[in-house]
């Protein structure tokens, strides 16, 4: 099974690929790193709703998708999963 990955931007301007653990319109849980050196981070919508932000180990991460875009992605995924019917 493929894990969903998203690109987040650090406060230094670097782009990191992180693995999504859980995703809904209220929060996105991501994991940075691999193995025993991984760290979980909760990204929540900003006040304007134009991005998701969170911090890990004192550093800020930003996912530059709006709440509406994430809701549309989730609806699309739900539609694809509901159309799949096992034999």
pLDDT at 77: 83
Q: Is 82 helix (H, G, I), strand (E, B) or coil?
A: helix
d(CA 84, CA 31): 28
Q: Please answer whether residues 51 and 9 qualify as being in contact, where contact means their C-beta atoms are separated by less than 8 angstroms.
A: no
Which of 42-46, 49-53, 76-80 has the lowest average pLDDT? Answer: 76-80
Provide the pLDDT confidence category of residue 85 given band limits of 50, 70 and 90.
low
pLDDT at 31: 96
Mean pLDDT of 57-69: 94
Report the length, in residues, of the chain.
87
């Amino acid at each position: 099974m493929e894990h969903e990955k998203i690109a987040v931007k650090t406060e230094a301007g670097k782009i990191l690929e992180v693995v999504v653990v859980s995703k809904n319109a209220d929060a996105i849980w991501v994991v940075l790193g691999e193995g025993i050196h991984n760290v979980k981070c909760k990204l929540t919508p900003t006040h304007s709703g134009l991005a998701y932000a969170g911090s890990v180990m004192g550093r800020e991460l930003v996912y530059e998708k709006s709440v509406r875009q994430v809701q549309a992605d989730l609806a699309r995924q739900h539609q694809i999963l509901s159309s799949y019917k096992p034999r």
